[in-house]
Amino acid sequence: MPRLTTVLVSLLIAALVYFTLIAGFDGQHTWAAMRRLDWLGWIAILSLSLFNYALRFARWHGYLRWLGHYLPVGHHVLIYLSGFALTTTPGKAGEGVRAVYLARRRVPYAHTVAALFAERLLDLLSILVLSLLAIASFTGYIYWVLVPLAVIVAMFWTMHRRSLLKAAQRRLKNPQTLVARVLRLFVHAWERAFVLLAWKPLLGGLALGCLAWTAEGVSVYLIAGKLGLAVALPLAIGIYSTSILIGALSFVPGGLGSTEAVMALLLKLSGVAGGMAISVTLIARIATLWFAVAIGLLCLGWLELGHRRKQIQPGQEDSL
């Protein structure tokens, strides 16, 4: 896993670039809008983000239990949230840092990869479903939703073909190269994903995902309302979801820039003035993306500190 100092430097660079962009987009106007949000407003939107994280953790915890791993909830929460420190990596791939900490709890890497794959897939599907709320108002952007939806359906169809899995297992039965060994790990994760994508965990995970991402979409509605803007609740949820979807598909780390551009554009098309659209967008991203990164960084630091203490005092049991 990356060293903590490397994480800090990468986050510092990302934050510097991000807030430089804020200054470039009439930063004075944005800071003024942020001050218009009273402390109750900030508590409300940050609480919605926490609700999102709690639901997604419950789903993740359930996935590992489904795979036969019963972890202490307190420590597992820290492991899960620590992945948020690396949210600003392409496709959130940095969240795979959980695998390192889970391996110390005797959770095989293949099981973590399977759970991570199922989580990412259901997050995409949840966001796609919520994006449909924006289609009624922005019919010209329907292909941004329908094309990814077709890709997700094709992936589900492929993954549920056990004959393809068996063929891959036979081909990688005795891997001789490093690449083949890595591919064998992913094939093993694919086998585990069959368990997580059965109807019961699939529908339960999709329901939790839709509820979790709806919560962050509601934050856009609250921010707009606090700034005196009239944006309908379903439209606000649809705009947020569509922008997150396009940001994820761009594979830009954390969707930085692409997510903001789409959200601001859709807000403008819905009748919000340009400057206010940018302000709503940036406040929403601070309350969701950067809030998650801050929490993840704290949890990552706590886990690393605990691990180093344990190395200094071998044999001491983990009290978490």
Residue 3 pLDDT > 60, yes or no?
no
Q: In terms of pLDDT, which residue wins out, 194 or 39? A: 39
Residue 185 pLDDT > 50, yes or no?
yes
Residue 179 pLDDT > 70, yes or no?
yes
pLDDT of residue 297: 87
What does the pLDDT look like over 42-61, one tens digit per residue?
A: 999 999 999 999 999 999 99
pLDDT of residue 160: 72
| CB-count exposure of residue 259 (10 Å: 0-12, 13-18, 19+) | buried
- Specify the pTM: 0.82
Residue 24 pLDDT > 70, yes or no?
no
What does the pLDDT look like over 282-294, one tens digit per residue?
A: 899 999 998 998 9
| Confidence at 26, pLDDT banded by 50, 70, 90 | low
pLDDT of residue 299: 92
Residue 81 pLDDT > 90, yes or no?
yes
What does the pLDDT look like over 112-164, one tens digit per residue?
A: 888 888 898 889 889 988 988 887 677 666 776 677 777 777 877 777 777 88
pLDDT of residue 46: 97
> Per-residue pLDDT averaged across 15-20, rounded?
68
pLDDT of residue 237: 95
pLDDT of residue 22: 62
